[in-house]
Chain A
């Protein structure tokens, strides 16, 4: 089955700085890679996703890059704000199931 690894597990940045979270996956059949933000006790919220036919996608301060050859993808948040503080999960999917990374707890220091 798919194995998704995520790094770092915790990340602290100063407000205004950038944050980068990286994930690797094992199944070359995976073709959909969403990123979720989860606040304590709440449901995961999709913040951005990318499909395997695209190398990069951007939505305002958030961007995701995908390297299919190396089987890794990254989340980039620029100009971080305190409200970006949360746990972020990457996931990989080959069509039906999602397999989640272990999560990154991001703290943005005002």
Chain B
């Protein structure tokens, strides 16, 4: 159980285009999803916390107009990188957390590698 998928797994796009990444919880309802980015040989940096049916909470320094997050259902959150530029190239990983208030555990998706040319 507790499987999280991401799509696509790898995307290459031209500078200036927008890219949408999907994160799905396959066998549980995720009231909260998280988006991270990870540069090579670096740690996971939390970008935003997404709660179903409400606006995402962004970490300091993350542009909410550039990284659009939508969490329209209990099993799907999307991250859209708008007007992508080469510096946005990174590994984007989502995670999902269940609805049990006592359960802190997060389940990670396989990641999406974004390359902006």
Give the number of chain A interface residues (Cβ < 8 Å): 24
A-B contact count (CB 8 A): 50
- Residue B108, interface by CB 8 Å: yes
Q: Are B111 and A42 in contact (CB under 8 A)?
A: yes
Q: Contacts A44-B44, A102-B43, A103-B43; is A93 near B104 (CB within 8 Å)? A: yes
Q: Contacts A96-B49, A97-B46, A100-B44; is A43 near B104 (CB within 8 Å)? A: no
Q: Contacts A89-B43, A100-B43; is A44 near B32 (CB within 8 Å)? A: no
Give B54-79 interface residues, CB cut-off 8 Å to A. Answer: 60
Q: Are A97 and B34 in contact (CB under 8 A)?
A: yes
Contact of A43 among B43, B45, B105, B111 (CB under 8 A): B111
- Residue A46, interface by CB 8 Å: yes
Name the B residues within 8 Å of A1 (CB-CB): 60
Q: Are A46 and B49 in contact (CB under 8 A)?
A: no
- Residue B110, interface by CB 8 Å: yes
Give the number of chain B interface residues (Cβ < 8 Å): 22
B97 to chain A, nearest CB (A): 8
Complex: A95 Cα to B100 Cα, angstroms: 11
Name the A residues within 8 Å of B60 (CB-CB): 1
Contact of A102 among B34, B42, B108 (CB under 8 A): B42
Q: Mark B73-117, 1 if CB is under 8 A from A, else 0.
A: 000000000000000000101010100000011101111010000
Name the B residues within 8 Å of A110 (CB-CB): none
Q: Are B46 and A41 in contact (CB under 8 A)?
A: no
Name the B residues within 8 Å of A93 (CB-CB): 104
Measured CB to CB, the nearest residue on chain A to B45 is: A100
Q: Are B46 and A99 in contact (CB under 8 A)?
A: yes
Contact of A95 among B41, B104, B105 (CB under 8 A): B104
Q: Are B106 and A98 in contact (CB under 8 A)?
A: yes
Q: Are B32 and A96 in contact (CB under 8 A)?
A: yes
Name the B residues within 8 Å of A42 (CB-CB): 110-111
Complex: A99 Cα to B41 Cα, angstroms: 17
Complex: A41 Cα to B41 Cα, angstroms: 10
Residues of B within 8 A of A (CB): 32, 34, 41-46, 49, 60, 91, 93, 95, 97, 104-106, 108-111, 113
